Amino acid sequence: MRFTQGYAPAPFCCPTRRSIQVGQTPARHLYQKDQTAWPLQYRKQLNIPRMLKAADRRYQTAHFGKWDHRFDKVTPREQGYDVSDGYTGNGTGGGRGSGGPAAKDDPKLMHHITHQSDEPP
C-alpha cells in the first residue's frame, strides 16, 4: 500500500495518531485530555482493527512502533490489535535523547520488525 498525499491533522503527535486510528480529525473524535469520560468514548470508537475484523472476523491485526496515547493509557490490545510491542512512549518508541529507538541505527525499528517475521514463533 502506498500513501502519497498524507498530512498530519494536528500539530501534536497524540491527536494525530488517534486521528489515523479512527479516521477523524481531532475536533471530530473529541480528543481532549480534560474531557469527561474521554477514555471510555475513545475505547468504543470504530477504528482500523475493528473495521478490518468487521469485514472478516478472522483478520489478524498488529501494531508496532510508538503508541503513546497519553492521558488515558489506552493500549493497542484495548483498541483491537491482536499483536503489538505494547504501550510505547517517547522513551521506548522514539525520542533520540531518551535512548529509545531514535538513538539507534534502526530508529523506526523497520529492519528489526521486518525480520521478526523470519524468526520461528
Dist CA 106 CA 83 (whole Å): 21
Rounded CA Rg of the chain: 15
Sign of the alpha-carbon torsion through 74, 31, 36, 80: negative
Give me the pLDDT at residue 26, please: 80
Residue type, 38: W
Q: Residue ranges per domain, the chain? A: 13-88, 90-121
15-58 pLDDT per residue, tens: 888 888 888 888 776 666 556 667 777 778 889 999 999 999 99
Dist CA 85 CA 53 (whole Å): 20
55-102 pLDDT per residue, tens: 999 999 988 777 877 667 788 898 899 988 777 765 555 555 555 555
Dist CA 101 CA 121 (whole Å): 23
Residue 112 is classified by DSSP as H
